[in-house]
Amino acid sequence: MNKTFTYDEIMNKLTEILVDDFEIDKSLITPSANLFEDLELDSIDAVDLAVKLQYFTDKKIPPENFKQIKTVEDVAKTIEELVKCD
């Protein structure tokens, strides 16, 4: 079964994950927030985030795509493109 999500649904889920699982203050989560500098995620956190998003979408983020992700918006756009590929 293919799952499709709107950009807003992806942003909402991403925000939920960052707040609930990584204990990031919701006010810090903006589309332009840098995952590593602004939200202070490390490489292990990034892997955990990718896994949680994989469960959400049933899609794996290819490593080459994940290396290019820097901001919250980058994550959302990557997920949006990934779910459109079916």
Lowest-confidence segment of 15-19, 26-30, 82-86 by average pLDDT = 82-86
- Model confidence band, residue 9 (pLDDT cutoffs 50, 70, 90): very high
Rounded CA gap, 72 and 58, in Å?
19
Residue 32: per-residue pLDDT: 97
pLDDT by residue (tens digit) across 34-72?
999 999 999 899 989 999 999 998 888 887 877 889 999
Give every CB contact of residue 28 below 8 A, 6+ residues apart in sequence. Answer: 38, 39
- Model confidence band, residue 76 (pLDDT cutoffs 50, 70, 90): very high
